[in-house]
């Protein structure tokens, strides 16, 4: 169990988290009780779904939309600008180099699949779990109150 300000985040398994308020026991209006993020093992790393909302007022992680990480970006969806900004923003949010992220599908769609490359050629179960936790930690940062 990870304690964050007034919110508690319980990692139920490697892709499911539960978040609730310590004061009232209720879930914040912007979160569901249990959220699932689709994270799949790939020979080159892990693939996760991203829903991009271009032309937003600011760049930010906006929680989950179904089984995808929702990302709001200021860039327009023109000339690959939103894709480039999305990779740059996700790399910063995950604390990894831009070169370790790659859009594998959805280049011209709001729904994308992003590959987080592993350092190894064929990833082990331990490396798969490490990459999953890296993505989940970016979601937990959403719940921290500055």
Q: b/e for 96-130, b at 16 or more Cβ within 10 A?
A: eeeebbebeebeeebebbbbbbbeeeebeeebbee
pTM as predicted: 0.72
CA 16 to the chain's CA centroid: 12
> What is the per-residue pLDDT across 92-127, written as a single tens digit (0 to 9) for each?
888 889 999 999 999 999 999 999 988 766 778 888
Farthest CA pair distance, the chain: 47
CATH topology of domain 37-141: Conserved Hypothetical Protein Mth637; Chain: A; (3.30.1200)
Q: Smallest Cα–Cα separation from 48: which of 122, 127, 111?
A: 111
Tell which phi-psi region holds residue 88, choosing left (phi > 0), alpha (psi between -120 and 50) or beta: alpha
Highest mean pLDDT pick, 29-33, 72-76, 126-130 = 72-76
DSSP-assigned letters across all residues of 75-126:
S-SSTTHHHHHHHHHHHHHHTS-GGGEEEEE-TTSSEEEEEEE-SSSS--HH
Per-residue pLDDT band at 140 (split at 50, 70, 90)? low
Q: What is the pLDDT of residue 104?
A: 97
- Tell me how far apart the alpha carbons of residues 115 and 123 are, in angstroms, rounded to a whole number: 13
So what's the pLDDT on residue 139? 67
Tell me the domain boundaries of the chain. 37-141
């Amino acid at each position: 169990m990870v304690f964050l300000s007034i919110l508690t985040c319980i990692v139920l398994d490697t892709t499911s988290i539960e978040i609730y308020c310590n004061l009232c026991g209720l879930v914040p209006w912007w979160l569901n009780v249990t959220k699932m993020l689709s994270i799949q093992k790939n020979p080159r790393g892990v693939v996760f779904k991203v829903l991009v909302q271009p032309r937003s007022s600011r760049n930010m992680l906006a929680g989950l939309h179904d089984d995808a990480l929702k990302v709001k970006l200021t860039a327009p969806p023109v000339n690959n600008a939103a894709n480039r900004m999305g990779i740059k923003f996700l790399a910063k949010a995950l604390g990894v180099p831009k070169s370790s992220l790659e859009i594998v599908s959805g280049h011209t769609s709001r729904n994308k699949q992003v590959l987080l490359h592993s350092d190894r050629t064929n990833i082990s179960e331990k490396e798969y779990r490490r990459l999953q936790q890296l993505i989940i930690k970016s979601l937990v940062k959403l719940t921290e109150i500055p």
